[in-house]
Amino acid sequence: MIRQKLQQRRHKRNVLSLVALLLLSMASGCNQATQETQAQQTQESPAPQSEQIRVVATFLPIYWFTRAVAGDRAQVEILVPPGSEVHDYQATPADVQAIATADVLVKNGLGMEDFLEGTIKNAGNPNLQQIDASSGIQTIGEISPVEKATDHDHDHGHSHGHSHDHADGNPHVWLDPVLARQQVENIRDGLIAADPANKDTYQANAAAYIQQLDQLHNQFQQSLQQYPNCTFITFHDAYPYLANRYQLKQVAVVEIPEDQPSPGDIQRAVNAVKKYNAQAIFAEPGVDNRLLQSLSQDLNLTVQSIDPLEAGPTDPQHYFTAMSENLQNIKAACQ
Q: Taking residues 33-57, what's their average pLDDT?
A: 56
For the chain, give the percent of residues with pLDDT over 90.
Answer: 59
pLDDT at 105: 98
pLDDT band at residue 107, thresholds of 50, 70 and 90? very high
Residue 262 included in any domain: yes
Angle, in degrees to the nearest 10, between helices 318-334 and 60-70: 130
Higher pLDDT, 37 or 244: 244
Q: Taking residues 319-326, what's their average pLDDT?
A: 98
Higher pLDDT, 186 or 142: 186
List, as one string, the DSSP characters of 260-326: S--HHHHHHHHHHHHHHT--EEEE-TTS--HHHHHHHHHHT--EEE---SSSS-S-TTHHHHHHHHH
CATH of the domain at 229: 3.40.50.1980
Higher pLDDT, 296 or 29: 296
Element (H, E) at 129: strand 129-132
Residues 6+ apart with CB under 8 A from 213: 177, 178, 180, 181, 184
How many structural domains compose the chain?
1
Cα pseudo-dihedral 217, 219, 225, 231, rounded to 10: -80
Q: What angle do CA 29, 34, 38 make, to 5 degrees?
A: 150
In terms of residue numbers, what domain contains 325? Answer: 53-133+142-157+171-334
Residue 216 included in any domain: yes
pLDDT band at residue 87, thresholds of 50, 70 and 90? confident
| Residues paired with 74 in a beta bridge | 53
Q: Taking residues 150-173, what's their average pLDDT?
A: 53
Best CA proximity match to 59, nearest among 88, 80, 90, 76? 80
| pLDDT of 267 higher than 80 | yes
Higher pLDDT, 148 or 59: 59
pLDDT at 145: 57
pLDDT band at residue 77, thresholds of 50, 70 and 90? very high
Residue 192 included in any domain: yes
| pLDDT of 217 higher than 70 | yes
Residue 33 included in any domain: no
For the chain, give the longest Cα–Cα distance.
Answer: 136
| pLDDT of 155 higher than 50 | no
Residue 249 included in any domain: yes
Best CA proximity match to 137, nearest among 175, 163, 100? 175
Residue 14 included in any domain: no
Residue 34 included in any domain: no
Buried b (16+ CB within 10 A) or exposed e, 132-158: bbbeebebeeeebbbbebeeebeeeeb
Q: Taking residues 164-171, what's their average pLDDT?
A: 69
Residue 46 included in any domain: no
